[in-house]
Structure 1
Amino acid sequence: MQAQGTQGSSPEPPGEPLTLPTAIEQSRVDVRALTRVLFERLAELPAGSPEHERVRAALIEVNLPLVRYAAARFRGRNEPMEDVVQVGTIGLINAIDRFDLSRGVQFPTYALPTILGEIKRYFRDNVRTMHVPRRLQELWVQVSGAMEELTVVHGRQPKVPEIAASLRIPEEDVRACLDAGRAYNATSLEAQQEHDGGLALLDRLGYEDSALTHVEHRDMVRHLLVQLPDRERQIVMLRFFGNLTQSQISTELGMSQMHVSRLLARIFARLRSGNHWEN
């Protein structure tokens, strides 16, 4: 399985070349800033030109870690991770081709739902072993598409009533689609797991962990935190991971407590919105 869109570039035309950092240097640069520069450059170039294709390929390469981050959510699906990454890369390419820099949305915030949607469609269309009515399969295409669009608009996972209102269908149909979308493989509870010492799935059933409901929230917070400027991220880490008071943070960073309070309020607003981070 090969992701398309990264090959076929012609040699660089005359003029000042657009160079990319080496693998070591790339780990030290701000990927967000580099992505923005590349998109600005891409907007200046005629579509289909050799330079346009080369900048587009650079955007794909720079943002591949986002694909691997999304693919890691599907490690339990018994599919080769290389295949999942290839499918996610197709979603990344689609996001690059559709992204509008002028909307003021960070590219990872826009691209992640598209990448996840492409991977979920792959599992839906190629891996499903459980029978799902055709009506629900067709409706799921609309529901998943609406979920991607609403996630970009609201900066969060849409709720069932919002999806239903967007598609003008009953909420019960949306819930049925979401349940069908989670149906991939049926495994007997008596099936033994070789990598777990021969234990059957039934023997591994445990209690319900209430913290599981917060797993996706923590993933989203972690994804948003890496987009914060260094100083603001440091304040968040000191406040909520170092358990320092605002007074202690002001002493640590050499600023007034009132300034720390204002920065925290601004940080919370940015994390909730998921919109463009202004320096």
Structure 2
Amino acid sequence: MAVKAIDPAVQQLWIDFKQDQSDQRLRNRLIEQYYQLVKYNAERVWAKLPEGVDLNDLISAGVFGLMDAIEAFDLSRGVKFETYCVPRIRGAMLDELRMMDWVPRLVRSKASKLEAARKRAQSKTGRPPTDKEIAKEMQLNAIDFNKLKNDASPVLTVSLNKKWYETDSYKDVREVDILEDSKGEDPTKDIQKEDLMKLVTRGLNRNERLIMILYYYEEQTMKEIGATLGLSESRVSQMHSSIVARLQGQLRQRRPEFA
């Protein structure tokens, strides 16, 4: 990528920043100035990687590398910043990729030995070997072979950003879009609960509505409701019993609305 001669305004920006490196505004302007350099290098690295690695993860890591380079850059050395920062940007991206590599070295080593033995056994038999033949090739008994096989097979992980299928719209469907949230609450239940509250408290005055809402929805005690409304606990209990008796009669009349 061709690098243009440094702009005098950019040169002055560097001078101002190096005089006060605590100035976040100046640092952010330098990040914006060289952001395209991060994006360019991220795209080059990403193009050589297998599917499942998110380009945005590389860009984010590259920005941290750029920030470190900006902090450490020495104007007095007469080196172009672009030349100085690219290794740091790419190094930060490679560090991110190493962190993504979740397979331990021991697991990878065992998997390599298992694959090498499988290939040797296949070359002897001329067909895909059985587990027993691979175990014999590795000089292992059945128990040790099965343990090695299990140790060499780590749990499969899937990137949530991996494409599930492409659509005609601007946004492809990814794994995260189809993943069920078993702990998530159904938003329709909250809507139904709110609608029921409005239906039940229809026709009640302010204090009566508050008693029903605080008791059944906020789960407050009669004593707590009394403190909120400035009433005694016995008065709240009396009002609650009266409201419930009245609502029971009204609900019988409104039964068709619940059908």
TM-score (norm 1): 0.34
Larger gyration radius, structure 1 or structure 2: 2
TM-score (norm 2): 0.36
